[in-house]
Structure 1
Amino acid sequence: MEQIAMVKSILDNGMAQVAVQRETACGAAHSCADCAGCEKMMTRTENVVVAYNDVNAHPGDVVKVQSENGNFFKTAAIVYLLPLVLALVFYGVASALSLGGEGLHALCAGIGFVLGILVAVAWDRHMKKVSGLRFHIVEVKRACSGM
């Protein structure tokens, strides 16, 4: 996945802190500041991440940042799909075993969903600890010569 970002600072280890503008929530090609619906849903307009400075970018430069897709898609699957899959599996198992009525089946589905959320939170903490989502600056789009 590639995004355009601005270099905020260069860290002591040679990596760069970059600010990536958040995409619109609705996916439309417009400014979210002009849309009252989007504006109310968005609380943060940029994400700040640390990226490998492969092209020797400087603070103020507008750069293209690329993430490593394997870990990104694995994380997305765990965070978005696992809770739903576990809810359906727990519901299906409760239904197949004829455990109680429909209310108990729904409770089992809820337990599966919560378990999926807990796994997703644990995975997120693990990925932050091991720097699992890595970003690389691959191109300087516009150099800022004034800084």
Structure 2
Amino acid sequence: MAKVESFELDHNLVKAPYVRQAGYEQHETGAIVTKFDLRFVQPNQDSLPTGALHTLEHLLAINIRDYIDGVIDLSPMGCRTGFYLICWGEHTTEEIASALEKVLNIVLETTVVPATTAKECGNYRDHSLFGAKEYAKQVLAAGISRDPFVRTV
């Protein structure tokens, strides 16, 4: 059976919020893909409501590309505790965390959520800008750790 990195992680030991490198693959052609775990809330203790999660997904997916080159995808975790960010090339947790902080500050200033029509979004009615801002505030206030096993702030 294939191993899934996130299923190997002991979710009882991590301390959110944090950014951690969750994967690194190099293809035989030399192409590199890096995956990051952007954890917003503590696993098995909290979860992001779907409206806030969905709105954060839209805002992060659009704005993170202004700070990180080679973004392939930003997607919510099924457990609703954060997001996965997948990028071409090598990136550091410091680079990703710094970009995330910048984007969360943009979320706090946002007045309109992009791509929220039935044409642009598969669940356009399920958004909460208020909720997205509340979780952005929470993550920024706690500080984003670069090591999920040690709280730095």
Same fold (TM over 0.5): no
- The normalised TM-score by structure 2 is 0.29
Q: Which of 1 and 2 has greater Rg?
A: 1
- The normalised TM-score by structure 1 is 0.30
Greater share of strand: 1
